[in-house]
């Protein structure tokens, strides 16, 4: 990566991927404070507090509605980028965060739990838009196109994938640090804690104008060769960009002759049914593996495991630090080890650790040291996820399909990601109340089944063309 290319990658990751990670974990630390606010507001309005069931329902909605906003935002990405470009879409999304921060920041002063829920849904809308812009190879504007053996296939730069994954881990980690009692973890600070998202969004909004628009968008979508040439010269740091311009023109011609497949056509296409099923299994399994429960409800999980309340915030920060390290390891080993070993090992480790949490919770009354086993298992789930399932499904989706099918495959995978994220965020507290320690066996079963599916069905996609992968599936 050249310096300008690295700069815009870091800026966009800071305002999108890191905000996504932050919003996943920000509701964990102030959970009890938010519930107390909901209960007090309800008592002021109606003369009585909320029963435990309705209070849990209201808080679960606050946590999970982020994913519903993300689903809506992800479905709008294609239209927005086509109309406004990368910079325009990200700038408009940053304005949404400022609005969401205002809703959440003033919610307690105005005595309105509804403002917290609306703010969470708007931050989800922002994350859905931004993650779609940043993560999709068709819309990743600062990535350069290249031709693979003359086929016109898009090559997604591994450096960009690595940076995006690391920034998600950093977002989770920063939320855990700011949630410490010495910082914003106190009752009077939770509205500020939720509205911190306006800082990175404001920086992105101010600095995006310092960078040119996507060369690919300017040439292929707008047919503006002059601006595309200027942007390429700045990003590549060289005046000689004619070769890249010619490649992009060839891609423009190839794209004009390719008929893009709709989601419905993709689901009905028997020639790629195993690839489509693989995208469904891996993306749904990634979110149903239990990682979202860990991010959303870490403090509750540790409290049930018998960790002293005073030590829980620091234990959570420790798991976040390990998550960043595991993310770095996964990002820099994916090209050396291949996709299958990482994703199979990751899901197996997560499944075993989920079963370990169940065992430790059942035995903690007779063996007090089992609380430390619970911590180790939570760390194992996070490390297993970051080293494999976190990044591999995205790459696999790009490698399992041709140019014509890939956008529809990303819509299917992305929609499943957000829907399953919502499902776990909403039902986990009720699952925990109804099944106790055994709720983690659900995640164990999901992880092991996905690992078995990948082992028996999905081939290694590293350094293979689409035709080679298709023949293996056949």
- Going residue by residue through the chain (474 aa), what tens digit of pLDDT does each one get? 566 666 777 777 777 888 888 998 898 889 899 999 999 999 998 888 888 889 999 999 999 999 999 999 888 887 787 777 777 788 888 899 999 999 999 999 998 999 999 999 999 999 888 877 766 543 344 444 433 333 333 334 445 556 677 788 888 899 999 999 889 988 889 999 999 999 988 888 888 777 777 777 777 777 888 888 887 787 777 787 787 787 777 767 766 666 778 888 888 888 888 889 999 999 899 889 888 888 888 888 888 777 888 888 888 888 888 888 877 776 666 666 767 888 898 899 999 999 998 998 888 878 878 888 888 888 888 888 877 777 777 777 777 887 778 778 888 888 898 999 999 989 988 988 888 889 899 999 999 999 999 999 888 777 676 677 777 777
**Are residue 177 and residue 271 in the same domain, yes or no?**
no
**Are residue 190 and residue 270 in the same domain, yes or no?**
no
Q: Is 101 within the bounds of a domain? A: yes
Q: Is 243 within the bounds of a domain? A: no
- Report the candidate in 90, 100, 105 with the shortest Cα–Cα distance to residue 121: 100
**Are residue 265 and residue 207 in the same domain, yes or no?**
no
**Are residue 347 and residue 206 in the same domain, yes or no?**
no
**Are residue 377 and residue 466 in the same domain, yes or no?**
yes
Q: Is 409 within the bounds of a domain? A: yes
CA 35, chain centre distance (Å): 26
- Spatial separation of the C-alpha atoms in residues 51 and 402, rounded to whole Å: 53
The residue out of 189, 211, 233 marking a domain boundary is 211
Q: Is 26 within the bounds of a domain? A: yes
Task: Classify each residue of 64-77 as buried b or exposed e, where b means 16 or more C-beta atoms within 10 Å of its C-beta.
Answer: bbbbbbbbebbbeb
Q: What is the pTM of this model?
A: 0.84
* DSSP string computed for 7-74: HHHHHHHHHTHHHHHHHHHTTTTTHHHHHHHHHHHHHHHHSS---HHHHHHHHHHHHHHHHHHHHHHH
Q: Is 219 within the bounds of a domain? A: no
- Report the candidate in 236, 359, 346 with the shortest Cα–Cα distance to residue 291: 346
Residue-range definition of the domain harbouring residue 24: 1-211
**Are residue 314 and residue 187 in the same domain, yes or no?**
no
Q: Which residues contact 63 (CB under 8 A, 6 or more apart)?
A: 27, 120, 296, 425, 426
- Report the candidate in 376, 395, 383, 287 with the shortest Cα–Cα distance to residue 328: 383
- Spatial separation of the C-alpha atoms in residues 208 and 67, rounded to whole Å: 26
**Are residue 363 and residue 441 in the same domain, yes or no?**
yes
Q: Is 318 within the bounds of a domain? A: yes
**Are residue 363 and residue 447 in the same domain, yes or no?**
yes
Q: Is 386 within the bounds of a domain? A: yes
Sign of CA dihedral 459, 462, 463, 465: positive
Number of domains comprising the chain: 2
The residue out of 211, 238, 272 marking a domain boundary is 211
Q: Is 218 within the bounds of a domain? A: no
* CATH code (residue 61): 1.20.1250.20
Report how far apart, in Å, the C-alpha atoms of 454 and of each of 201, 215, 410, 464, 465 are.
38, 37, 19, 17, 19
The residue out of 195, 211, 227 marking a domain boundary is 211
**Are residue 269 and residue 164 in the same domain, yes or no?**
no
**Are residue 15 and residue 150 in the same domain, yes or no?**
yes
């Amino acid at each position: 990566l050249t310096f300008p290319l690295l700069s815009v990658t870091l800026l966009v990751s800071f305002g999108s991927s890191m905000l996504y990670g932050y919003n996943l974990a920000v509701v964990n630390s102030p959970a009890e404070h938010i519930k107390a606010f909901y209960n007090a507001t309800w008592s002021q309005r109606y003369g009585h507090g909320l029963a435990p069931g309705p209070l849990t329902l209201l808080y679960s909605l606050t946590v999970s509605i982020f994913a519903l906003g993300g689903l809506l935002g992800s479905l709008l990405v294609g239209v927005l980028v086509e109309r406004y470009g990368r910079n325009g879409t990200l700038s408009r999304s940053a304005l949404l965060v400022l609005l969401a921060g205002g809703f959440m920041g003033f919610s307690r002063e105005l005595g309105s739990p509804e403002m917290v829920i609306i703010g969470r849904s708007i931050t989800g809308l922002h994350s859905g838009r931004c993650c779609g812009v940043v993560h999709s190879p068709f819309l990743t504007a600062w990535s350069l196109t290249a031709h693979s053996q003359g086929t016109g296939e898009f090559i997604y730069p591994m450096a960009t994938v690595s940076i995006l994954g690391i920034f998600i881990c950093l977002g989770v980690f920063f939320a855990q640090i700011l949630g410490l009692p010495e910082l914003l973890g106190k009752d009077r600070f939770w509205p500020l804690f939720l509205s911190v998202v306006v800082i990175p969004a404001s920086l992105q909004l101010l600095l995006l104008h310092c960078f040119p628009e996507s060369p690919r968008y300017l040439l292929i979508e707008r047919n503006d060769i002059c601006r595309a040439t200027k942007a390429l010269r700045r990003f590549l740091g060289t005046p000689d960009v004619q070769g890249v311009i010619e490649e992009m023109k060839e891609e423009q011609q190839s794209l004009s002759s390719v008929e893009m497949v709709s989601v419905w056509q993709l689901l009905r296409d028997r020639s790629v049914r195993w690839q489509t099923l693989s995208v469904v299994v891996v993306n749904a399994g990634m979110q149903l593996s239990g990682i979202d429960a860990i991010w959303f409800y870490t403090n509750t999980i540790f409290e049930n495991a018998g960790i002293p309340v005073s030590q829980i915030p620091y234990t959570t920060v420790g798991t976040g630090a390990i998550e960043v390290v595991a993310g770095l390891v996964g990002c820099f080993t994916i090209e050396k080890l291949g996709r299958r070993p990482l994703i199979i090992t990751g899901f197996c480790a997560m499944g075993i650790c989920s079963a370990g949490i169940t065992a430790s919770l059942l035995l903690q009354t007779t063996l007090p040291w089992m609380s430390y086993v619970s911590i180790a298992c939570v760390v194992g789930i996070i490390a297993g996820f970051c080293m494999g399932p976190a990044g591999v499904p995205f790459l696999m989706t790009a490698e399992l399909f041709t140019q014509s099918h890939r956008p529809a495959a990303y819509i299917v995978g992305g929609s499943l990601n957000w829907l399953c994220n919502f499902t776990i965020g909403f039902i986990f507290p009720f699952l925990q109340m109804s099944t106790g320690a055994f709720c983690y066996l659900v995640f164990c079963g999901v992880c092991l089944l996905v690992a078995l599916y990948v082992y028996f069905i999905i081939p290694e996609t590293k350094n293979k063309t689409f035709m080679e992968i298709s023949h293996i599936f056949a």
